[in-house]
Amino acid sequence: MTSLFEQVKGSIVTADSETLETLIPLFRAKHSIDEMFQGVVYPALDTLCHRLQERTLAIPDLLMGLKAVHLLLEKTKAHGFSPMRDRCIVLGVIEGDTHDMGKNIIRDLYTGYGYRVVDLGKNVSIETFTERAVAENADVVGISTMMSTTLTRVKEAVASLKRARPTIKVMTGGAFLNAKISADIHADGYAESAATLMANTELLFS
Partner 1 sequence: MNQLTSMERVLLTLKGEETDRVPVCSLAVGVSRGVTGVGFPQFSRDSQAAAESMILANQIVGDDVILCFTDLSVEAADFGQEMVYPEHSTAHPNYERALIKEPQDYLTLQSFSPASGERMGAYLDLCSILVNRVGHHTPVLGFVYGPLGVLGMMRGMEGLYRDIVDHPEEVKVALEVITTVLEAFVLEQFHRGVAGVCIDTLPASRSGVSPSQWEAFEGVYVKRISDVINRCGILNAHHGCGFSPYFKEVKKWIDPSVYSFADVPEDCRNFEEAKRRYGKEATLMGCVSTELLYSGSPAEVIRQCVEQIDLLGRNGRFILAPTCEFPPNGNLLNARAMVIAAEMAASGTMDTSWVGAA
Q: What ranges in 55-196 are assigned the alpha helix state H?
A: 59-75, 101-112, 126-135, 151-164, 179-184
Classified as helix, coil or strand, 116 is strand
Stretch that binds partner 1, among 59-67, 83-91, 111-119, 130-138 (CB under 8 A): 59-67
Judge contact between 180 and 150, C-beta under 8 A. no
Stretch that binds partner 1, among 23-31, 78-86, 91-99, 129-137 (CB under 8 A): 91-99
Stretch that binds partner 1, among 22-30, 31-39, 82-90, 99-107 (CB under 8 A): 99-107
Distance CA 117, CA 201 (A): 13
101 binds partner 1 (CB under 8 A): yes
> 47, 104, 160, 200: which one contacts partner 1 (CB under 8 A)?
104
Distance CA 194, CA 114 (A): 16
How far is C-alpha 32 from the geometric centre of its chain's CA atoms?
Answer: 23
Least distance in Å: CB of 51 to partner 1? 11
Distinct helix (H) and strand (E) counts, the chain: 10, 5
Classified as helix, coil or strand, 189 is strand
> 4, 33, 64, 118: which one contacts partner 1 (CB under 8 A)?
64
Site string (114-153) toward partner 1, x via CB under 8 A: ---------------------------------xxxxxx-
Instruction: Considering the complex, state which of residue 151 and residue 168 has its C-beta at the smaller distance from partner 1.
Output: 151
HSE at residue 7, side-chain half, CA atoms within 13 A, is 14
Site string (19-58) toward partner 1, x via CB under 8 A: ------------------------------------x-xx
Judge contact between 189 and 171, C-beta under 8 A. yes
Least distance in Å: CB of 82 to partner 1? 29
Distance CA 13, CA 76 (A): 18
Task: Catalog residues that contact partner 1 under the rule CB under 8 A.
Answer: 15, 55, 57-61, 63-64, 67, 96-98, 100-101, 104, 147-152, 175-178, 180-181, 184
